[in-house]
A and B are shown apart, each in its own frame.
Chain A
Amino acid sequence: MIGRRTGQVVLMLAGLLAWAVQFTIIYGATSTLCGLDRADATLLGIGNVQAVVLATTLAAFLAAAGALAWLLWAQKRTSDQAAPADRFMTQAGALIGGFSLIAILWQGLPALILPACA
């Protein structure tokens, strides 16, 4: 009972949770790499910091998109017998997921524009 509900809440908030994890990682990594003067190194020709930010952004985007797809698919399967609260959480989760996809891309954008530690 508790397990199912917890899963529902996590799924409903998945997009924003992905954004939160992304934000923590990109900010933490940038500060740490700049603080330790290790930002000049490159990964596959891209700066260290940029590489971390872009990889994290991509991972967060895929995680949020995956959760959203799962949510919509699950809704299709059970929509006719779902309780109102369950249906509501699916719909709210879909809106949150859609919003988060944009927010996650927007959050990673600076890496394409700015120098890492200047």
Chain B
Amino acid sequence: MNVSERPGSFAPQEPDLPNPLPRPAGEFEALERAWKAPRGLSFITAVNNTYVGLWYVGTAFLFFILAGILALIMRAQLAAPESDLVGHDLYNQLFTMHGTVMMFLFAVPAVEAASVYLLPNMQAARDLPFPRLSAYAFWAYFVGGLVFFGTIFFGLSPNGGWFMYPPLTGSKYSPAENADWWLLGIGFIEISAIAGAIEIIVGVMKTRAVGMSLDKLPVYSWAMLVFAVMIVIGFPAIILGTLLLEMERAFDWPFFIAERGGDPLLWQHLFWFFGHPEVYIIFLPATGMVSMIVPAMAQTPLVGYRLIVLALIATGFLSFGLWVHHMFATGLPKMSLSFFSAASTAVSVPSGIQVFAWIATIASGRMKLTTPSLFIIGFLFIFTLGGLTGVMVAMAPFDWQAHDSYFVVAHLHYVLIGGMVFPLFAAFYYWVPVASKRPLSERLGRWVFGLMFLGVNVTFLPMHVTGLIGMPRRVYTYPVGMGWDALNLVSTVGAFMIAAGVAVFLVDLARNFRFAGEDNAGNIWNASTLEWLPNGNYNTRSIPSVVSRDPLWDQPNLSKHVEDGRYYLPGTATGGREALVTSPFDATPQYILQVPGPGWQPVLAAVFTAAFFLLLTVKFVLTSVVCGVIAVGCVIWWLWETDPGPVRPPADIGGGIVVPVYVTGPMNHSWWAMIVLMVVCGMVFTCLIFSYLFLWLVNPGAWPPQGIEPPERLWPLVSAALYIASAALIVVASRILRGDDRRSPRAVPILIAVALLLVSGASAADLWAQWRTGLSPSAHAYGAAVYAIVSLQIFFVLTTLVMGLYTIARWLAGRLDSIRRTTFDNTMLFWSYTVGQGLVGLAVVHGFPRLIGGP
């Protein structure tokens, strides 16, 4: 490694320009060529973050409109009592789809999509570190989401509420496929959310402008970092929950069936351990956007940067201590409930800190009343009201009164529309000049704001009262004379006002949005951050060095110098697409990342991933498995081109800084991604162990139930020995694959092959041991829990098998040696995880029943 170590501190003045003028002939053309998006039919294989980001935002917005139309149908049905516009079954599908689509197909994808577009630009990176992963996440979501939405036209939509509580959604009470559409249809959304989270974490930590140390990171980047970490911690719970419920429906494993030792409350815990953080996952990126827009509108730096970072991080933590406040009415011990009450009230403090920081920023500058400003003011007003009712329902006694009434509907729409939709519209009006040749219209924008702001209040303010005087949620109609008629009619009128506002917005988009390459409208707000630098497909001509949080204000010539190529890496060093990777804390240049370009692989992999889940829903098992295998094949084909190795000697990026074009080990971006993926897997497993222990608490005297003997001690010991031996072989292989000369000894693939046999033997031995004792997965929740742990382990071993064989294939193809070993390193990391999970699983399954005094 000959990365020049620069001191972490930069003097607060314009840095020296690393590259001289004139730039060599052809440098700029080569850069343009490398980043050019494909044309014609191949256009959909583009992976540039600006293209994928826009498609992604557009698709999310499409789902916003579709789910909004479902809401309008519901409001039309409720406008008058005893109406028969839609029947009860369709109404159940409508509210389930409205909630599901708004949360899973609009809100989370929308904020993720915005960051695919904005993050690299804001950090002056050329692109995200894994552009093909973003493309994959987008296409899986696009195809899967549209098919999922299509079920509403066939009466096949899920109808058990967006939270899908069993036993209602179990096979006894929902024998039809509607529930499966939810459980499997959400699968690809979970995959694409996690893919996006990995992308964002590595993107924020590793691809920033030079000198953009942690204290100079835009607040939006902080918000997205916390958002991504929350997805990594929170989403695994819903992944596991859907797996368990689908296994119960498909194979009759009774996780949630009380007669056989299961417990429907387990689902509620798993669902809300994801579901409550979920709303903050939606809200935090929106606050990040607000923190970017407010300083630009007030023309003054953000007040309280450190406090806002504290607020983001504290919200991220505390939001995981709230989930039971959705379960106040389930009869849990009062002391337990009050812990969640305490955390639910505490979480309002960080949000309050942020609100006051924005107000202080507005007060310290001169806020122009532009359309983005109006939406920010609307956000502050509506979100704060929603926050106040939130503190009310955080009190268990009050919640028992308001639970399942329209009061809660009013509260959640105030916080979600106020806290996410309004900032998103502010962001549309604010950032469109980056992506379009013309900004959106201020005149139409005021109409959009006026209609939406009035509409939201007219719709949802009366609902507080409707709920307090007793109208329950999720009823398709109500009798005359309950005193709810007028209030419901007002709410319906308001809903159509919101729709009118959105329609005006669509007109504005159609009239003024024109996709821009290098000729965008530019910095019309005089904003201070890097996404307003002149840019094209390659993002910025050269990668700037920043000395403050507001570079465009503090470095007056920055735009010109960046465009002239006076800053770092003004061309392409390898002839292909590249990103400059910087250190995670001080943002000093580390190495050049060779970014993959457009390709069909992510698109095809995504389509077949979506097909796998969707076909599984309608029980086309064989076709579905074939699609799954093709999807894995496409991923392998896609990976084959990655891990290019050091294609040239270290390159000079300017200012005498010479960085390598390939690194391995903990500095490598894919190493980071693998660590994040391991955390995701670890969380899935943790939730499974929690489920095991939870089911034990439900059956304290019968774990295992009468007549079931756990396997003899010898079996888990054999299994554990095989796991450890396989890991040891991989460590030995890693030792052999070391050194500076590019050797790749024959022993490496042989060791991997033997280790594969051992690790497969280990999980097979464990499965066999359980099977021998006659333990049935469907007789009792104990068996179901044990087999769930064993099955998850088998899935991981199979994944390890694929990775191990892939690594051997790389060696056979001469693409693996002591320098070019990222593939091997990733396999080794995943291997260590699989072995660790296997050992913990053995300890729990075989040790726990003995520990609590079983046989």
Contact = CB atoms under 8 A, between A and B. Distances in A.
Interface of A: 2, 5, 8, 13, 16, 19-20, 23, 26-27, 30-32, 34-36, 49, 53, 83-89, 91-92, 95-96, 99-100, 103, 106-107, 109-111, 113-118
Contacts of B216: 84
A84 B8 contact: yes
Contact of B213 (A16, A53, A84, A110): A84
B421 to A, nearest CB: 29
Contacts of A111: 335
A118 to B, nearest CB: 5
Contacts of B338: 110, 113-114
A84 B586 CA distance: 8
Contacts of B215: 84-85, 87-88
B700 A36 contact: yes
Contacts of A19: 317-318, 321
B339 interface: yes
B214 interface: yes
A85 B8 contact: yes
B725 interface: no
A118 B9 contact: no
A105 B17 CA distance: 52
Interface in B299-358: 306-307, 309-310, 313-314, 317-318, 320-321, 332-336, 338-339, 341-343, 345-346, 349-350
Given A49-B335, A110-B338, A117-B335, A95 B697 contact: no
Contacts of B697: 31-32, 35-36
Contacts of A16: 313-314, 317-318
Best-surrounded residue of A92, A106, A118 (most CB of chain B within 10 A): A92
29 contacts: A16-B314, A16-B317, A20-B317, A23-B339, A23-B343, A30-B333, A30-B339, A34-B333, A35-B698, A49-B335, A83-B7, A83-B9, A85-B213, A86-B585, A88-B213, A92-B313, A96-B310, A99-B349, A106-B342, A106-B345, A107-B342, A110-B335, A110-B338, A114-B338, A115-B335, A116-B335, A117-B333, A117-B334, A118-B334
B666 interface: yes
Contacts of A110: 335, 338-339, 341-342
Nearest to A85: B213
A8 B346 CA distance: 26
Best-surrounded residue of A32, A99, A117 (most CB of chain B within 10 A): A99
Given A16-B314, A114-B338, A116-B333, A106 B346 contact: yes
A8 B584 CA distance: 13
A32 B690 CA distance: 12
Contact of B700 (A5, A35, A99, A115): A35
Given A30-B339, A103-B314, A117-B334, 10 more contacts: A19-B317, A31-B336, A32-B697, A83-B586, A86-B8, A92-B310, A103-B346, A106-B345, A110-B338, A114-B334
A72 B698 CA distance: 46
A91 B309 CA distance: 11
A16 B213 CA distance: 23
B335 A20 contact: no
A78 B294 CA distance: 35
Main secondary structure of the interface of B (DSSP, over half): helix
Contacts of B9: 83-84
Nearest to B310: A95
A2 B671 CA distance: 13
Nearest to A26: B339
Given A20-B317, A83-B7, A92-B306, A31 B342 contact: no
B89 to A, nearest CB: 37
Interface in B566-600: 584-586
Contact of B320 (A20, A32, A99): A20
Contacts of B345: 106
B214 A89 contact: yes
Contacts of B10: 84
Nearest to A109: B342
Given A88-B214, A116-B333, A13 B313 contact: yes
B334 A96 contact: no
Contacts of A107: 321, 339, 342-343, 346
B333 A23 contact: no
B331 to A, nearest CB: 11
A72 to B, nearest CB: 15
A88 B307 CA distance: 11
Interface in B1-16: 7-10
Contacts of A20: 317, 320-321
Contacts of A31: 332-333, 336, 697
A85 B343 contact: no
Contacts of A34: 333, 335-336
A95 B304 CA distance: 11
A115 B337 CA distance: 11
Q: Which 4 A-B pairs have the closest CB atoms?
A: A83-B8, A88-B215, A110-B338, A85-B213
Contact of B336 (A27, A85, A89, A106): A27
B560 to A, nearest CB: 26
A91 B335 CA distance: 35
Contacts of A85: 8, 213-215, 585-586
Contacts of A86: 8, 585
Contacts of B7: 83
A26 B213 CA distance: 38
B429 to A, nearest CB: 31
A30 B213 contact: no
Best-surrounded residue of A5, A103, A106, A115 (most CB of chain B within 10 A): A103
Contacts of B666: 2
Best-surrounded residue of A85, A92, A116, A117 (most CB of chain B within 10 A): A85
A60 B365 CA distance: 41
A96 B314 contact: yes
B335 A99 contact: no
B306 A88 contact: yes
B603 to A, nearest CB: 37
Nearest to A24: B321
A32 B698 CA distance: 10
A59 to B, nearest CB: 16
A117 B343 CA distance: 19
A95 to B, nearest CB: 4
